Every structure is written in C-alpha cells, then in structure tokens.
Amino acid sequence: MNKIRRFFSYYRPYKSLFWLDMSAAILSSLLAIFFPALTRELLRTWIPDQVWGSMIVCFVAMFVIYAVQACFTYIRIRWGHVLGVYVENDMRRDLFGHLQQLSFGYYDHTKTGHLMSRMTNDLFQIAEVAHHCPEDSLISFATIIGAYVVMFSYSAPMALISLIPFPFLVAWGIVFGRRQKRVAREVRSHVADVNSNVENSVQGIREVKSFTSEKFQSGLFDSSNNDLKESRKKQYSVMASYQTGMGWLRNMYYFTTVVGGALLIYRGVIHSYDLVAFLLYVSVVLEPIDRLINFVEQLSQGIAAFERFTEVMDVEPSIKDSPEAKDLVVTNGDISYKNVRFTYDTKDGEVIGDISFDIKGGTTVAIVGDSGAGKTTTASLLPRFYEIDSGSITIDGQDIRSVTQRSLRKNIGFVQQNVFLFDADIRENLRYGNPDATDEQMYQALDAANLGDFVRSLPDGLSTQVGEHGTRLSGGQKQRISIARVFLKNPPILIFDEATSSLDNESEHLIQDAFDRLSVGRTSIVIAHRLTTIRGADNIIVLENGKVIETGTHEKLLSGGGHYARLYRRDFD
C-alpha cells in the first residue's frame, strides 16, 4: 500500500488532467452498454411492430453513441498519454536530483549502465503504466459491472451462465501475473547489464583496440547478451502461456453464452432477441477483458520497473548536512586533521589510520608517498567526498561536519588527477567554475592557466567542442582547462591532485607554472607524484600505509635520510 500511495502521489500535480482522462474513460464505457440495449429493443419491439419513427431514432442514437465514443477515445489516447509523460518527467527529475545527492561511496559500488537503465527504460515502462493503470482498470471494471447489471435485469439465469468462465479468467490472471512480474524483473536486470557492458566498451574503445582485445570484449558482451536472450525467451514463454489461456477462456464466453442461450430459448425462458443482446454484451465485456490481458502483462513490467526506481530513491546519502549546519566562513584557511581514521569498506581494513597534521592558511603543503599510501583519499576527506570514521577535520576551527556541504565545497577548488570534461564546448566546461562568467573572464582564466593563446587560435574559440571526456584535446590541455575552471571559481583552498607524470616536459612546465600562479594567497594541498615538482612546498607530509611517518621541508626531509629521501632519490634517478 505504501508503494501504491507513493506511485499515485505523482498524479497529484495533474489532478485536472487525471480526472479528464478518467471521466472520458467511464463515459465511454457507459456509452458502450447502450448499444446492445438499443439492438434488443429494436428486435423485440420496433421491427415487429414496424415503428419506423422509433427505428430511425434508434439508428441516429447508435450513430451518436459511436461519434461521442470516438471523441472520448481521442481524449483518452492523447491526454492520457500526456499524463503518463508528465509523471515520467517528474520521476526522472526526482531520480536525477536524488542521484546528485548520493555520496561517492554509492557510485563506487554501482554500475553506470544500471543507473541509465533505470533512468530511461524503466521510467518509460512506468509512464505507460501511469497512463494505462487507472484508465484501463476503470474502463474494464465499469464496463463489466455495467454490462452485467443490465444482463441480470434481462435474465438472471442467462447472466449466470455467461459468468461461468469469469473466475477461471481471474485465477489464470493472478497465477501468471506473478510469474510475469518475476521474469520481467529478471529481464530488466539483464538489460541493465547489457547497457553497462556497452558503455564500458564504448568508453574504453581505445584500450580495446590498442590491446587488440576485440574478441575478448565481444565475449564479455556475448555473455551478458545471451543472459538477456534467455531471460527474454523465458518471459515470452510465460507470456504465451498466459495469453493463450486467456484467449481460450475468452472464447468460452461465446461458447457458454450460445449453448446456455440455446437451451434457455428451447425451454422458453428467454427469447431469441435476448440471446442476440447477450452475445453483443459478451462482445462489450470481452473488450475490457482484452485490455486486462495486455494490462496485466504491462502492469507486471511496470511494477518491476517501479520497484527498481524506488530501490534507488530509497538509498540514503551516506553524507548529510546536520540540522544545525551553517555555512563555512573561511578567514585564514587554516586546516587541521586530528586523529582521522577512514575505511572504504570494513572488509578491506583502514585506508587512513589515526593521522594528524596542521596546515597554516596561505601555505602550500605536499602529500607524498608510494602508490596506495592514501594520498588522494586523505585529500578527498577535506571536501567530504567521503565521511571520516573518527577524529575531526577543521577549517579555521570549524568542523567540516558542522557546515553545509555546499558551502564547504564552494570554498575548495579541486584539480583532479583524472580530469573530466563534459561533452560540450570549452565555454560550457569553464562555466562549471562560474556560471555567470563572461567570455572576457574566461579568457583571463585561460591566460592564467597558460591556454588562452591556444583557444584564441581555434576557429571556433570558446565554442570549440571538446568531445566526449575531452578526447579532442591533449592531456595537458585538459589539465589546464580544469585549472582555468578553478581560477573562475576563485576558492580560498586548493587541492591539486598532480597528474603531470604522464605528460611531456613542456606541458608539465606550463601546468606547474599555472598552478604556482593559482596558489598565490591560497591554502594549497598538492598530492605529489613527481617529487621534483614540490621542492618549494612550505611543508611536506609523507604517508605510508595510511599513516603519517614524516613531515618537514624538502631540505629537512632530504637531509634526514628517511623514507622521503629514498623516494626522492628513486624519482630523481
């Protein structure tokens, strides 16, 4: 019942459209009941008595019924589907908004293809149910009940005989409806797997081709594709059994009505015109039964899709603002880590184990260590991309858990190791730093990032498309665009996850020069991969296995002959 209420809550903003659709549905159903009644009266009275005036009125009434029904059908088809589109749009908006709120930990364990399947295929299926669920059920029940009320008024024995197949129809629908729901959910899951596989293959097409792994990738796709094929086969097997049984029971309506009617006419209980009327009413009743046949199949898929939708919507962000959270106010930019512990998963053990250090505002601090030492994780805890397990992190004495996430991240600029550019032009990518930035301000930021002249030389300038993930730009150019974004953001705190080790010397120099310019007057944390680039840092923190083992300036650590000195000599060699 909770899911039903939750589903129908999406109709609330469109009450007028909903009732327009329902009114058209019920009036169309009631009109369908009148046609057999007029036919019975035509055969019973007006033709035998040759009342031509009444016959003409009857024919006109029949024509009007069909004409008005056509109008109601147009309303149902057009505005009913529009209602479904509105509901789908609101669900997609809510789902997208909810995904924006979820923490990084959720995405670490969730495939993008599965989310895309929920966002597109599942919501389309829900939209169809949103339209057909209330409409088809109302039409079906109104028509069936209305028709049988009239049929019982004509002849209770005949009406009872025609009802014989009905309980079998209901039982068949319940049994196979459950089976269809189960296989529909299985199909949705395999569709998501195929989407995820295709997405990985397309995004990694360069790696696939460079390693000549086309056959291997095709094998992975064939596996998920075959799983989908088998689940589809099972789905259509259940569907065939369901529809065949329903079709056979549907035909039993005519059979029992004709046999029962013939026996009752033989015994003088009803007249031949009653049998004709009953056969017409059976046709009226069978149309909503056909609707129910299709509706149950669609409903089973819609329920499975809605359950997958609610599964995501019910995921709570692991990081939330406290009710008393205030906006962060940065004055000096002093940062302090006190006894911080963190683990991604309890099964894997601690990634950060009881680290403490202070960063004075306006200084540049480098975090160094072997791969896997916890450098990026340590920096990612500052903007609360992940929540610490214990300890505290403060900025100017304010615990980051006591301030709003929005204000916290607004004051931190993050130049990530793996730069992500959106499939848009340079201008749109830069506007993530400042949505209100003018073209002049963007060029100023690009100049500061040592990329202004390059962008000006392009035929389309700021309107140049960068391609998916920035594939039309070099690694150094992508890095400098990300730095320009931070220039536009103008935050008091910087995190620079240096990614120059894979770049040529010229690109590295340009990026280092841009960062030096960007870090002036700001508190900067540099995650160093190439130690020769951080010799001028005010302080260096050395991590090993998630713990701080050394701190000091470059000269102090080098003269100490410890872990940093060994790393530096290895890097220099």
Q: What HEC string does 244-285 produce?
A: HHHHHHHHHHHHHHHHHHHHHHHCCCCCHHHHHHHHHHHHHH
The answer to whether residues 63 and 70 touch, using CB atoms and an 8 Å cutoff, is no
The secondary structure of 364-428 as a DSSP string is: EEEEEESTTSSHHHHHHTTTTSS--SEEEEEETTEEGGGB-HHHHHHTEEEE-SS----SSBHHH
- The answer on 371 and 275 residing in a single domain is no
CATH number, position 522:
3.40.50.300
β pairing state of 493-497 and 412-415: parallel
- The answer on 279 and 376 residing in a single domain is no
Range of the domain at 59: 2-313
The answer to whether residues 350 and 341 touch, using CB atoms and an 8 Å cutoff, is yes
Q: What is the pLDDT along the chain (573 residues), one digit of tens a residue?
A: 677 788 888 888 988 888 898 888 888 888 888 888 888 888 888 777 787 888 888 888 888 988 998 999 899 888 888 888 888 889 888 888 888 888 777 887 777 767 877 787 788 888 878 777 777 778 888 888 888 888 898 889 988 988 888 888 778 877 777 787 788 778 877 887 787 777 777 767 766 766 677 787 888 788 888 888 888 888 888 888 888 888 888 788 888 888 888 889 988 888 888 888 888 888 888 878 777 766 776 777 778 788 888 888 888 888 888 889 999 999 999 999 999 999 887 666 788 988 999 999 999 999 998 888 888 899 999 999 889 999 999 999 999 999 999 999 999 998 887 788 888 899 998 998 888 999 999 999 999 888 889 999 999 999 998 887 788 888 888 888 888 998 899 899 999 886 555 566 677 778 788 888 888 889 999 987 777 778 788 999 999 888 999 999 988 988 888 888 888 887 766
For the chain, percent helix, then strand, then coil, each to nearest 5? Answer: 65, 10, 25
Q: How far apart are CA 76 and CA 81, in angstroms?
A: 8
In a domain, 271, yes or no: yes
Is residue 354 within a helix (H) or strand (E), and if so which, with residue range?
A: strand 352-359
In a domain, 343, yes or no: no
In a domain, 472, yes or no: yes
The answer to whether residues 15 and 23 touch, using CB atoms and an 8 Å cutoff, is no
Residue 359, SS3 per DSSP: strand
In a domain, 393, yes or no: no
Nearest residue to 161 (alpha-carbon basis) of 38, 32, 267:
267
What are 542's strand-pairing partners? 368, 550
- The answer on 271 and 376 residing in a single domain is no
Q: How far apart are CA 410 and CA 486, in angstroms?
A: 11
In a domain, 355, yes or no: no
- The answer on 260 and 175 residing in a single domain is yes
In a domain, 334, yes or no: no
- The answer on 292 and 437 residing in a single domain is no
Look-up of token digits 């006591």 = 402
The number of folded domains in the chain is 2
In a domain, 354, yes or no: no
Q: How far apart are CA 319 and CA 389, in angstroms?
A: 12
| Token pair for 221 | 């796709």
